[in-house]
Structure 1
Amino acid sequence: MKRILIMLVMFFQYSAYGQVVIGSDVSSVKNILKIQDGTRGVILPYANTYTSFPKYNAAATDIFDDYPNLVGGLIYNKSDDQYYKYDGFSWNPSRQIQGIFQPKISRLGISAGITIPCISFGIGFCFAGGTPGYLAADNKSQVLVDNLTLKNASTVTIKVAGIYDIGVALGFTGGSLGFQAGITEFKLTLQVKYTSASDWETVVSKTNYSVVFVIDTQGNKTSSFAQTISLPVGAELRVVPEISSNAISGGALAAYGTDTNSINSYIAARLIKSY
């Protein structure tokens, strides 16, 4: 009996430190699992759509629950033909410019939105003042991180000169009440102030439209775009929202605003190359 126990202990000890080798007869102490085969591949877990991923929760802000034990997990998504990696908070696609642990990116949410009132009498007019502030606190569950340290006390400022991918999205909320017919234009503009003494310069604009007839209840609009741009140290970024209307009306009021939900509104920057 004693001899059997010793043999069992030796067997389990060997198993604990052994390596699994597939496709070869040469093991290595540097690997737990070694797969060597030039003619066949390894099929990892896959799903037809992201809604079947582990920890999917439609009610969560980033649609996935936090689960540290799943960090590093991989799943192939057949619907968009790419792998996703779990970072403890959500599943991130391999083809993206944003990511929590990507050291050369920032994704900033809105800390302060603005209201855009409009009035229509014959022709519509909107009165926009100010710009939304992209200084919301970092929140990994909402994929809000500032790895490039762009946030200052009241500005978004470039700290490293280089070529950047800038992604901007802004949601508009609200609508109009009253008789009118025409088109409402939701416009989003990225502006850069290259030095503290220079003026704001427009880089790119994006427009979304809403067809208005009698009552515009379709105020939940999102404009978004991405732009590659060269930026010096000290350059400031801001996003300017505008609403205009050519609607003809006998009298109508509208109140629009900027959505502070980080899913619909954010500014993201990825440093491609520094110089």
Structure 2
Amino acid sequence: MTDVIDLNWVRSQFPAFAQSINDGQSFFDNAGGSFACRQTIDALTSYYTETKVQPYAGFASSKRAGEEMDRSRARWAEALGVASPEIVFGPSTSMNTFVLADAFGQILGPDDEVIVTNQDHEANTGVVRRMASRLGLTMHEWRMDPATGLLDIEEFEALITPRTRLVTVPHASNIVGQENDIARITKLAHAVGARVIVDGVSFAPHTIPDVAALDADVYLFSLYKTYSVHQGLMVVRNGLLDELPNQAHFFSAGSPDKRLNPAGPDHAQVAA
């Protein structure tokens, strides 16, 4: 027996489809993200109307505000196969990569090498390229086959050296859509002591990844492409949070969810 998706039920989960301004149209706006589902909108409205206070204090609305933020972090950790302290919310994936590149720039030296691809979205690779140029690092570009748009893992193996310290790679290209073998890429990079940043923006809308199985040090994607708020989610694993210097207020250095978010978390959007 084949399961049938009830499209009317699916559409009913998205209030935008019930608005007259959207009548008679189909939307193929993947780069702009997805519509927010009713559950996200309800959670956001509830936070702004009931608990828009400084979270984690002892009074009722503040206590609940903190609990809702913690619940979001815990549920995403469960979905991605990681631990809650490894979940970092930020204003966008582009901003998360910017902060990451700046943090890496404080611990890398002129003898270190980085590997980027020309299959990446510019938001992931651009900040690392500029950081490498600013510090005088050796940068290798893992280039895709111009005929197919695909990356050859044997070429990646040829680029890795004992001096490789950072690799950035997309889980799936936003142009050709091909999934890259992240688990193998990560294993090869870890063998020489390199860290791996994986851009999952074009993958996560199709399948929520098992980040633990991929063993990436950083996995990023945009929540607004998964029916949620306009925030970026970043998983930072394998002790990297402790290795990178704090990018936030000095008093946030001991908070895993804050140290890579200079502005601090958007309480309402995190809760939603």
TM-score (normalised: structure 1): 0.25
Instruction: Return the structure number with greater strand share.
Output: 1
Structure with the larger helix share: 2
Question: Which structure has more RCO (C-alpha within 8 Å, separation ≥ 6)?
Answer: 2
Asked which structure has the greater CA Rg, the reply is 1
